Amino acid sequence: MLLQAARRYAFTVTTWAEGPDTHHLLVETNGVKVAPWTSLHIRGAGSGKSADIVYSDKGAAGRETGSDWSSAAALLDSAAWLQELPLENEQIAEDLIPSITATAVIIDPLTPVPAPRPPAPAQAAQAFSWTSPLMTGSRVDAEVTTTVWLNQAGWVLRLDRETSPASSEAGLRHTYTVIVFSRQGDSTLTLPVDGFESAVG
């Protein structure tokens, strides 16, 4: 809930494809929230391409690196490499919080995390885990297992999500995502991009 209310923070999002014996990087994102805007710099590991997206409840703008700003919808329509990436939202949807608090279990914050994932944060005071279905209508497409580490003050330090498809018919990949948060509440944090407001529609 602290993260939901935070006006400023930085984060990184890294997603791997999971296989029986292999793991390979799919996408890396550097993000900054300076309310009301959130800025993402997305790098596709396979394509070598990158893009910026800035959004708020006022709208969203986007651009491939080296290009001009347009609407985020136009960027997503034109950039096939972006459409193929499993992009993750760094936030937990607020309407899920009641079910999370009912099902989350406390885990040892220092429990080893399997490679290639980074180890649990050293400054973690508490950790929780829960599993929830990813659904289309009444069909379960995947199970999503989330682990979150909090510091002594209750700020989220890191959030991991593992998405395990229920079947190949869902069209999803087995992925593992690590979201690392920093600079929570830092009043000096600024957006790393500008000039996007004219493209917000």
The pLDDT tens digits for 123-153 are 999 999 999 988 888 888 899 999 999 999 9
Check whether 168 has a pLDDT greater than 80.
no
Q: Which residue has the higher pLDDT, 139 or 26?
A: 26
Which pLDDT does position 201 carry in this prediction? 66
Number of Cβ atoms within 10 Å of the Cβ of 153: 9
Task: List the domains of the chain with CATH numbers.
Answer: 2-187 (2.50.20.20)
Kindly report the pTM of this predicted structure. Answer: 0.92
C-alpha dihedral, 171 to 54 to 147 to 123, nearest 10°: 150
CA distance 46 to 57: 31
Contact, 29 vs 13, CB < 8 A? Answer: yes
Q: Which residue has the higher pLDDT, 70 or 117?
A: 70
